[in-house]
Amino acid sequence: MKVRTITTGIPSAFSDEQMRRAVDFNRHCRARFEANGYEVQTTRLSSQAWGEISERDQALELDHRAVELGVEFFSLGTIFPNQPQTQSHLNLIADLISQSRTFSASVTLTTPDQQIAWDVAEKAASAMQQIAHNTDGGFGNMRFAALMNCPPNTPFFPAAYWQDNQINFGIGWQAADLVHGAFADAPNLQVALRKVKELMEQEGAQIVAIAAAAAEEAGIRFVGLDVSPAPMGDESIAGAIETQLPGRFGERGTLTAVTGITRTLESLELPRCGYSGLMLPVLEDEVLGDRCRQGCLNVDSLLLYSAVCGTGLDTIPIPGDASVDQISATLTDVASLSIRWRKPLSARLFPVPGLAAGELTRFNSPYLTNTTVVAL
């Protein structure tokens, strides 16, 4: 079991004092988890900086400052629709992602009255295309997403944005191995799901206790654990699920297993935050990547699973020449699901320059596997 991220949120991204305090806290919190036998993969800083950003160079200076302090991952937060600076911020987003070293950010496509912000969807699609063609192999879209009804104080990037009256932090774990351990030897799905609940509550209680002790010592509020069983590479959530399927992930029985895991996560007696749902990131999960290559998955099937699980369309490679209209329509499909079911979803799409549907990606990153480009 690994801790994927310790994410600390600060009220003001441009406060040197707050940034230093958050960096120090992340360091001490990491040491506390490691002393208790947990590998901590990353520590991150989150904010809601858009109210303080007026121009590109000002924001890039913040990126420079974060690098100086040793920050690797810094969220600027989300651009909400219908705000005075929404359009000017949307015009900045592609440059900030492409030119920064630490920034992640998002745009929110749903309004408080549960409507789609159509103009924001088009701008987000355009930004995804610009980022794809201005970063190596389109990798910059790892750090940008469109959000729909996502809550604040989510530890996972790029959906993270801060909202509180004080510094806070949350934990995101990498718990696909817990699902695999529960599923592998279970005689049926019902038993497997009961075992998932048991293992997650047991492991989660230990993580929460460590986090609570760190919070009390530092005087920083702990917002909870995002219980999404995040996969990475060969620690595959799809591989875990396949141990309870008659065939491959994407074939018959997948929807039932995905629904069961989601309900189990919702039932956990733990302080939860963020998505706390099932993540299916195609480019981060080797088995998902394999099934995509084998034709078991496409955008429609992943949208179907999004209706009953966690994050939406996550790290999906699409043709480099996909039009803004095609990308925007995909984003509004996810938004429509989010609005219909009143659930947090997001879309992180990777237009891959020079590649068409069916061709193999060639990412060279420890965070990504490779698979075939998916048609829109």
- Kindly list the averaged pLDDT for each block of 10 residues, start to end, along the chain of length 376: 96 96 98 98 98 96 97 98 96 98 98 97 98 95 97 96 96 96 96 98 98 98 97 96 97 97 97 95 97 96 91 95 98 97 95 97 91 96
Spatial neighbors of 276 by CB under 8 A, at least 6 apart, are 226, 227, 228, 265, 266, 268, 310
**Distances from the Cα of 104 to the Cα of 31, 145, 156, 299, angstroms:** 25, 9, 11, 24
Structure tokens at 339: 């609005």
Neighbouring C-beta atoms of residue 286, cutoff 10 Å: 19
What is the model's pLDDT at position 311?
A: 83
Q: If you search the block for the tokens 């993270």, which residue do you land on?
A: 160
pLDDT at 366: 87
- Across-strand partners of 75? 46, 104
Please name the amino acid found at residue 62: L
CATH architecture for the domain at 1-376: Alpha-Beta Barrel (3.20)
Q: What is the C-alpha to C-alpha distance for residues 312 and 279, in angstroms, rounded to an integer?
A: 8
Amino acid at 370: N
pTM strictly above 0.75: yes
The predicted pLDDT at position 335 comes to: 98
**Domain chopping of the chain, boundaries:** 1-376
Instruction: Please tell me the distance from the alpha carbon of residue 225 to that of residue 254, in angstroms, as a whole number.
Output: 26
Q: What's residue 319's pLDDT?
A: 98
Ramachandran assignment for 323, one of left (phi > 0), alpha (psi -120 to 50 degrees), beta (any other): beta
